[in-house]
Amino acid sequence: TTIQSNDLTPIYVLLINMCGCYFAYIFGKFACKIMIQGFSYAFPVNLTIPVSISLLIAACGLRNGDPCFFYDTIPSYLFFESPPEYFLNDFISHQHAWAWLLWLLSQTWITLHIWTPKCERLARTEKLFVIPMYDGVLIDQSLAMNRRRDDEANVKPEELDEIQKEKGDEYYETISNHTDGSTPKTVKNSDHITRIYACTTMWHENKEEMMEFLKSILRMDEDQSARRVAQKYLRVVDPDYYEFETQIFFDDAFEISDVCDDDTQVNRFVKLLVDTLDEAASEVHQTNIKIRAPKKIPTPYGGRLVWTLPGKTKMIAHLKDKMKIRHRKRWSQVMYMYYLLGHKLMEIPISVDRKAVIAENTYLLTLDGDIDFQPSAVTLLIDLMKKNKNLGKKIRKSKVYYLQF
């Protein structure tokens, strides 16, 4: 018997397999990156085998009932060898077909981790998969077993209190507390929490510029408070939870006192900042708000004002006296880099391993004094920087600068 066939059929089958596997891998990786892995990755991967077997059995049954079924689409020489109906019943009842079900359940159990991803958004391919490529022969098993386990545990609500305890007393800082041999070296889940320090330098900003900056900070304070309350009291696991603190470095903040020429007082720009804060808070929260007066702390470089904002985040204004410390913007930037990364991180009494993890999750949001931004923009920025560890970013009012280190 002569069978009419097409010489290009194997090539067509190969191309269909290559394209199908490639798109399955690309779309699967995309689903993992944008955090829709449960429904768009794990669900179809686990359904592949049972759905394929069910469709194959149904197609063979239709072909047995009508030999011409599918003939125009799939010729006989390409179709599966359809066993008779009694053979199928015998296979299920006597040929240990139950073993296939056990193998399927075993694969599902081994790959349970793909249902509960804990990686960050826009994670790199190397962090998502063990190897960056895929197996085109068994694409579903390749996608399921190539997916890495995300070992980072969720931060429990009670662990949020540990962060506040480890911060210590900010009003009576000392450098006498050093790490000793008794310090626990185990890295805690709370060490992986994102810490954002918003840093800005001020000098002679006007009220409009201060309003823009303060409203942005108060929006961040409101957003952080909502996330903290949801995590602590409603037991909501928030992968985007962060700790937030504002650091303002005020250059040339003092002037000669009106009472005594030998004494100094804060200048009118510092007073303007203090007076503008209540107005900015009222605009953000759409109600009249009176923020508690700041704590006044003398420092070797001048002084410090510490506010507790409505969302319980701190805003700290470092008032620099140019007679005691170098002034101007660049020296202020050097100062906050050393103060935050050196003093507030490296001198806390914890192990080196914990310091390394905390430093990896600490971000300095350097701002101009008149910047206007939303919390969602900061979240996207943090996602971008987590994806590329060598990427720095500086935001100004009209431009965005990327720095590759």
pLDDT band per the 50, 70, 90 thresholds, residue 222: very high
At residue 276, the pLDDT reads: 93
How far is Cα 259 from Cα 388, in angstroms, rounded to an integer?
A: 55
Alpha carbon distances (Å) from 85 to 69, 89, 136: 16, 7, 32
Residue among 141, 181, 154, 155 nearest 45 (CA): 141
Share of the chain above pLDDT 70, in %: 82
Q: Which of 146-155, 168-177, 346-355 is the least confident region?
A: 168-177
At residue 178, the pLDDT reads: 43
List alpha helices for 111-206, DSSP H.
Answer: 125-128, 139-146, 160-167
Residue-wise pLDDT tens digits, 294-304: 999 999 988 99
Residue-wise pLDDT tens digits, 88-111: 666 666 667 778 888 888 988 998
Biggest alpha carbon distance in the chain?
Answer: 117
At residue 277, the pLDDT reads: 93
For residues 337-364, average pLDDT: 84
Contact 155, 241 (CB under 8 A): yes
For residues 259-273, average pLDDT: 83
At residue 179, the pLDDT reads: 43
Contact 103, 111 (CB under 8 A): no
| Nearest-5° Cα angle at 386, 385 to 387 | 90
pLDDT band per the 50, 70, 90 thresholds, residue 251: confident
User: Taking 80 as the threshold, does the pLDDT of residue 237 lie above it?
Assistant: no
Q: How far is residue 271 CA from its own chain's centroid?
A: 37
At residue 400, the pLDDT reads: 43
User: Taking 70 as the threshold, does the pLDDT of residue 21 lie above it?
Assistant: yes
At residue 204, the pLDDT reads: 84
At residue 12, the pLDDT reads: 87
At residue 173, the pLDDT reads: 46
Handedness of CA 188, 112, 42, 20 (dihedral sign): positive
Phi first, then psi, for residue 296 (nearest 5°) are -105, 120
Residue-wise pLDDT tens digits, 117-153: 877 777 888 888 888 888 888 899 999 999 988 656 5
Handedness of CA 70, 75, 76, 78 (dihedral sign): negative
Mean residue pLDDT across the chain: 81
**Which position has the higher pLDDT, 59 or 114?**
114
Contact 242, 227 (CB under 8 A): yes
| DSSP secondary structure letters along 192-260 | GSEEEEEEEEESS--HHHHHHHHHHHHHHHHHHHHHHHHHHTS----TT-EEEEEEEEETT-EEE-SS-
Cβ within 8 Å of residue 272, ≥6 positions away: 207, 210
At residue 10, the pLDDT reads: 83
Q: Which of 14-28, 70-84, 197-211 is the least confident region?
A: 70-84
pLDDT band per the 50, 70, 90 thresholds, residue 399: very low
At residue 172, the pLDDT reads: 42
What is the pTM (predicted TM-score) of this model?
0.69
pLDDT band per the 50, 70, 90 thresholds, residue 402: very low
For residues 226-253, average pLDDT: 87
Q: Which of 31-45, 88-102, 205-219, 342-356 is the least confident region?
A: 88-102
**What is the residue type of 175?**
I
Q: How far is residue 364 CA from its own chain's centroid?
A: 15
Q: How far is residue 142 CA from its own chain's centroid?
A: 26
User: Taking 90 as the threshold, does the pLDDT of residue 244 lie above it?
Assistant: yes
Phi first, then psi, for residue 340 (nearest 5°) are -80, -45
Helix axes 43-65, 98-110, angle to 10 degrees: 160
pLDDT band per the 50, 70, 90 thresholds, residue 215: very high
Contact 295, 306 (CB under 8 A): yes
Residue among 340, 333, 397, 393 nearest 368 (CA): 397
Alpha carbon distances (Å) from 38 to 42, 83, 133: 5, 37, 21
pLDDT band per the 50, 70, 90 thresholds, residue 275: very high
User: Taking 50 as the threshold, does the pLDDT of residue 345 lie above it?
Assistant: yes
User: Taking 60 as the threshold, does the pLDDT of residue 273 lie above it?
Assistant: yes
